[in-house]
Amino acid sequence: MKKPDFFKRPAVRVGLLLVVVIFAFIIVKQLLIPKSFNTYGFYRGDNVQEWVSMSAKYSSTGAAACTTCHGDRVTLKDQGSHKAVNCESCHLAAGKHTQATFDAKPVKDSTREACLTCHNKQAARPETSIRQIDDSQHYLGMTCTTCHNPHSPDLGGKKT
């Protein structure tokens, strides 16, 4: 029996196909690997610079960043039982706002839910470190800030 042409031999065809697939893989791999890959190790080097150039959403100095303009509230809070609670725990990220971009207003949330995040009664929450109330028993339907000043919630403090 006559042998088939070289390129028609099954083993050669499979071999050629394999070579094409391997080349295609290498080309696609080269195209997909970011240029900065392996600059510092097995990851994209540019990523480091991207993180460095990101601006912080929260102010870097906590309540001190609010003193210049809201000194009254900082003082009030420091004297009350919320002294350990950061302004931005309630008002959320205010980094931009502190840089005199007042249109970037921080969140001002007066709902019961905002306070209950920390104060709702939970068996797993130690009563000794944070006082808790039973949502359904404590003046249901009323906004907490009607009675408690959020910046000094002990009822001895004055509401501003």
CA-nearest of 72, 73, 108, 111 to 90 is 108
105 lines the binding site for ligand HEC (CB under 6 A): yes
Alpha-carbon distance of 138 to 142, in angstroms, equals 9
138 lines the binding site for ligand HEC (CB under 6 A): yes
Q: Which of 11, 54, 84, 123 binds ligand HEC (CB under 6 A)?
A: 84
Q: Which is nearer to ligand HEC, 38 or 117 (CB)?
A: 117
Alpha-carbon distance of 67 to 63, in angstroms, equals 7
Q: Which of 81, 96, 121, 125 binds ligand HEC (CB under 6 A)?
A: 81
C-alpha distance from residue 99 to each of 60, 94, 95, 113 (Å)? 12, 9, 7, 29
Stretch of 17-25, 28-36, 42-50, 84-92 contacting ligand HEC, by CB under 6 A: 84-92
What minimum distance in Å lies between the beta carbon of 56 and ligand HEC? 12
Q: Which is nearer to ligand HEC, 44 or 125 (CB)?
A: 125
Contact yes or no for 152/82 (Cβ under 8 A)? yes
93 lines the binding site for ligand HEC (CB under 6 A): no
110 lines the binding site for ligand HEC (CB under 6 A): yes
Q: Which of 114, 123, 134, 158 binds ligand HEC (CB under 6 A)?
A: 114
What minimum distance in Å lies between the beta carbon of 51 and ligand HEC? 23
Q: Which is nearer to ligand HEC, 44 or 138 (CB)?
A: 138
Q: Which of 12, 16, 102, 122 binds ligand HEC (CB under 6 A)?
A: 102
C-alpha distance from residue 128 to each of 66, 124, 142, 150 (Å)? 30, 12, 26, 20
Residues ≥6 apart with Cβ < 8 Å to 38: 45
Q: Find the length of the chain.
A: 160
Contact yes or no for 112/143 (Cβ under 8 A)? yes
